[in-house]
Amino acid sequence: MKVKNQDVDSDIGRLTIFHLGSKQAGEGILVFAPVYFSTQARAVLDIGTADGLWMREVQSSPPSPPGGEHTFLGTDINASYFPCATKNIAYLRQDIKDPIPQPWHNTFDLVNLRMVLIAAGPHAAQRAVVAEHIKALKPGGWIQIGDCERVCPTPEAENPRYHDMWACVRAACRAAGLDARKPRRFRAWLEDAGLEEVQERTSMRSWADLGYRRI
């Protein structure tokens, strides 16, 4: 049990670094979609939540809406990451490759998938995961996909060893049948799924794609 706890702590530390890096690249913004938390209670689904850090930070930032409270549900395949439940934040073990539960359909104002699609496998499987989680959106809800290309964000002459590292990452992706530059495909996936007002933002080669489900 002690070894398991050490492994979990190590994973959470690594995922926290990912969170902080994404947050820095996004200039501190965690929700890019125009979901207005001050006007009414919102339901948020965070896929690949780990210990729920993204949810907890989002929960702490907006004001409470009149006549209700925001609710958050975080899912991850590894339930050992989950902390003790706190008010209005729940956790559930769920594989992103599995169909979402029927009660989730048309339920959430915001679905967040950040740095998690690679766990689904090759291109077709990742696209299927996006399509499946679009079903969780309420009419008028938003899906937010955050990811990065597996390329070095600095010039090779400036940091050749960093370039070598990312070359190894891309080689590993190719060996596993994964697209190291898949974020370029996200916009088309959302548009082909019928979402509207699809937006794309890049920062330090960190990608955020948004899609809106028509009312």
Give pLDDT tens digits for 127-175: 999 999 999 999 999 999 988 766 666 777 877 887 788 778 777 777 7
Of 56-60, 110-114, 143-147, 169-173, give the lowest mean pLDDT range.
169-173
Q: Per-residue confidence at 2, pLDDT binned at 50, 70, 90?
A: very low
Mean model confidence pLDDT for the chain: 85
Question: Distance between CA atoms of 177 and 191, rounded to whole angstroms?
Answer: 24
Query: With 70 as the cut, is the pLDDT of residue 199 above it?
Result: yes
Question: In this prediction, what percent of the chain has a pLDDT beyond 90?
Answer: 49
| Nearest alpha-carbon partner for 112 in 94, 134, 140 | 134
CA–CA distance, 76 with 3 (Å, rounded to integer)? 21
pTM summary value? 0.84
CA torsion through residues 120, 111, 184, 212, sign? positive
- Tell me which of 26 and 133 has the higher pLDDT: 133
Structure tokens at 4: 């398991």
Environment class of residue 100 by beta-carbon count within 10 Å: exposed (0-12), middle (13-18) or buried (19+)? buried
- Let me know if 88 is exposed, middle or buried by CB neighbors in 10 A (0-12, 13-18, 19+): middle
DSSP state of 91: E
